[in-house]
Amino acid sequence: MRVRGLLVAGLVGFTVTVGASYPGANDAPTLRITSPLGRTGLPGTIRIVARLDGQLDVIKGGITLAGLVNVGVAVGQNLPYNHVIQAWNAQTGQELPAFPQAVEDYQLLSSPAVADVSDAPGNEILVGTGLYLLRDINAQGVEGPGWPKFTGGWNFAVPAIGDVDGDGKLEVAGLTREGYGFLWDTDRPACGTNDEWWTSRHDEFGSGAYGTDSRPPGTATGVTGSRVSGVGMELSWKAPGGDWMCGSAKRYRVLASSKPIVHPTDGTVLGTFDASGGVGTGASQKLPAGARYAAVLYQDAAGNWGHLASAKLP
Residue 96: HSE in the Cβ half-sphere, 13 Å Cα cutoff:
26
311: Cβ–Cβ under 8 A, 6 or more apart, which residues?
A: 223, 224, 225, 235, 293, 294, 295
For the window 90-129, what string marks contact with Ca ion as x by the rule CB under 5 A?
--------------------------x---x---------
Among 191, 215, 252, 294, binds Ca ion (CB under 5 A): 215
| Rounded-to-integer distance, Cα 50 and Cα 33, Å | 16
- Residue closer to Ca ion by CB (options 41, 242) is 242
Q: How many CB atoms lie within 10 A of CB 51?
A: 17
Subset of 168-197 contacting Ca ion (CB under 5 A): 169, 171
- Considering only residues 241-280, where is the footprint of Ca ion by CB under 5 A? 242-243
Overall size of the chain counted in residues: 314
Closest CA to 224 of 297, 304, 313, 158: 313
Write down the least CB distance from residue 291 to Ca ion, Å: 29
Q: Check residue 167 for interaction with Ca ion (CB under 5 A).
A: yes
**φ, ψ (nearest 5 deg) of residue 301:** -65, -25
Least CB distance to Ca ion at residue 159 (A)? 15
Closest separation in Å from C-beta 300 to Ca ion: 4
Closest residue to Ca ion, judged by C-beta, is 300
Cα distance between residue 149 and residue 157, in whole Å: 14
- Tell which one of 195, 196, 203, 300 touches Ca ion (CB under 5 A): 300
Minimum CB distance to Ca ion smaller for 128 or for 242: 242
One-letter amino acid of 112: P
Residues that bind Ca ion (CB under 5 A): 116, 120, 163, 165, 167, 169, 171, 213, 215, 242-243, 300
